[in-house]
Amino acid sequence: MSTATAEPSPAKQENSNENGNQPEQQNEDAIVEQHHPHHYGGGGGGGHGQGQGFQGGRRGGGNRFSGGGGFRRQPMNANENERNDFFGGGGGGGRKRGGRGGGNLMQGGERGPRDRNPDDRLNDRVAQMSGPTFDLAPLDTAEKKFSGRARLYIGNIATESTEEEIHDLFKNYGETNELFVNKEKNFGFIKMDFNVNAEKAKRELDGSLFKGRMLKIRFAPNGSSVKVRNLPPFVSNELLYFAFSAFGEIERCIVIVDDRGKPTGEGLVEYVRKGSATLAIRKCSDDCFFLTASLRPVIVELYDAVDEADGCPEKTMPKKNMEYTKAREIGPRFANPNSFEHEYGMRWKQLHELFAQKELALKKELDMEKEKLEAQMEYARYEHETEMLREELRAREMGRDRQKREWEMKERQAEETRQRTEEQMRRQQEEMQTRMLLQEEELRRRQQENNLFMQAHQLDDMLDQQEQAYEQPERGIFNANMNAEQGGNATMTILSY
């Protein structure tokens, strides 16, 4: 039998090991790795020889002459490594000197357009969820393998125990995974495949001897669980799962209800990784996270599980403690009236009654404040919507005024264009009429010139005939007289012109 020394609780032991080799402990990089695996890795610089070049290309996904690539893609040739699907920027390289390597989200390297911090990616995921949430798909209620609900705490482990021996001890109850042992403080944690197997292992191994020491088996506190309070109405398990899946992978998610099935305004979300729970608490504490159209932000805090199955058995009592001996000297009894025990017992009862009264009054006051805030919220929503409608109406009026001004401007421009067109057409008509008059005058002048030319030609013919008549006097007397008369008329016509 081991000595009855007080051991720290599983929760305290787990918290004392947060910086150790605990598999469940996750840091900020684990959050990034969860949502975006393969985001690590900047390209390594190239090297001269095969050694440097191989290492540089191996880290970045390139070859020995150049640094690896950035975003995810398949290898294009034999020189590219199969792990070139990293997210970091690639580093160039050469034979003499390695290039500048890229970086991941938390380390060095120049930040490219795709290299953003986790909060930006989280905001993008939440922005994609902000649409309507009607008809969400039902959740798969089957228990997941190696979940946090099947994780056991092992206390009072012998120092000489090995991990193989502990695995062999638990393998009779199912598959095991993620064994952690702290030999300095003689405790450890192990995950079983399912909760029912963990229950069986706890029931049969708790209090059993192993390496000469009595084991203490309990369910380990789940540090990756969060409690969600101030849930608005109409939030179901599916909506809660859909909303909080933005922070990481979820094992189990429920909205807590009372004995009538009415939601109590609280919920429970169990994540696979502790970093996801930390991220959810941090973001919901820093910002206001809404699940529905209601303006009631959810309050997220770490869930402190309560052991309601085993309680505190007698074997865990520190029986060698003097206070234990003093308390157990007297058993259960009723106090005698007007006795010393009765007086101070009544004082304790009055103190509890006072606490209950103040708690009830505080609860009523809180309910009144909630109703008041709800009314103020609805009034503010109405005022906000009214102001938005007014803004929209003003914007429409401004748009109509602007459109009216544009139409008036277009009408003025059309009128000016029409006037310019008419003026241009009038000028064109005047120019056309002027050209027609000039053409007519030119035509008359040419006709007159033609007439004069014809008359001159006729006169020339008459002169030729006169010459011929002089040459033939016998026949030319009469003709000469006639020609003389015609010639005289023609001469008068020419002179008159």
**Tokens 């969860």 map to which residue?**
34
**Tokens 């809660």 map to which residue?**
240
Mean pLDDT of the chain: 78
Nearest CA to 4 out of 218, 314, 316, 216 is that of: 316
pLDDT given for residue 140 in this prediction:
87
Between 372 and 5, the more confident residue is: 372
Phi then psi for residue 406, to 5 deg, are -65, -40
Q: Are 189 and 238 in contact (CB under 8 A)?
A: no
pLDDT at 107 > cutoff 90: no
Q: Are 243 and 291 in contact (CB under 8 A)?
A: yes
Alpha-carbon distance of 487 to 491, in angstroms, equals: 6
pLDDT at 425 > cutoff 70: yes
Q: Are 438 and 470 in contact (CB under 8 A)?
A: no
Average pLDDT over residues 92-115: 44
Each residue of 68-83: pLDDT tens digit?
A: 444 344 443 333 443 3
pLDDT given for residue 374 in this prediction:
87
Say what percent of the chain tops pLDDT 70.
71
CA 133, distance to chain mean position in Å, is: 17
pLDDT at 301 > cutoff 90: yes
Average pLDDT over residues 163-176: 92
Rg (alpha carbons) of the chain, rounded to whole number: 52
pLDDT given for residue 149 in this prediction:
87
Each residue of 450-491: pLDDT tens digit?
A: 999 999 888 888 888 888 877 776 555 555 566 666 655 555
Q: How confident is the model at residue 246 (pLDDT cuts 50, 70, 90)?
A: very high
The residue type of 455 is Q
Alpha-carbon distance of 495 to 53, in angstroms, equals: 117
Average pLDDT over residues 121-149: 89
Which residues does residue 231 pair with via DSSP β-bridges, in sequence order? none
Instruction: Return the domain boundaries, the chain.
Output: 136-222
Output the CA–CA distances (angstroms, integers) from residue 40 to 33, 272, 362, 396, in the order listed.
8, 21, 51, 50
CB count within 10 Å of CB 313 equals 9
Nearest CA to 154 out of 174, 180, 136 is that of: 180
pLDDT given for residue 98 in this prediction:
41
pLDDT given for residue 476 in this prediction:
53
pLDDT at 411 > cutoff 50: yes
- Rounded to two decimals, the pTM is 0.56
Each residue of 193-203: pLDDT tens digit?
A: 999 999 999 99
Between 228 and 70, the more confident residue is: 228
pLDDT at 361 > cutoff 60: yes
Q: Are 109 and 89 in contact (CB under 8 A)?
A: yes
CATH of domain 136-222: 3.30.70.330
Three-class secondary structure of residue 268 per DSSP: strand
Task: Specify burial of residue 432 (Cβ count, 10 A radius: 0-12, 13-18, 19+).
Answer: exposed
Instruction: Please state the length of the chain.
Output: 497
pLDDT given for residue 469 in this prediction:
78
Between 485 and 369, the more confident residue is: 369
pLDDT given for residue 8 in this prediction:
55
- 266: left (phi > 0), else alpha (psi -120 to 50), else beta? beta
The dihedral over CA atoms of 248, 254, 256, 258, expressed in degrees to the nearest 10, equals 180
pLDDT given for residue 44 in this prediction:
43
pLDDT given for residue 481 in this prediction:
63
Between 12 and 42, the more confident residue is: 12
Nearest CA to 92 out of 55, 58, 64, 67 is that of: 67
Each residue of 397-406: pLDDT tens digit?
A: 999 999 999 9
Average pLDDT over residues 125-142: 90
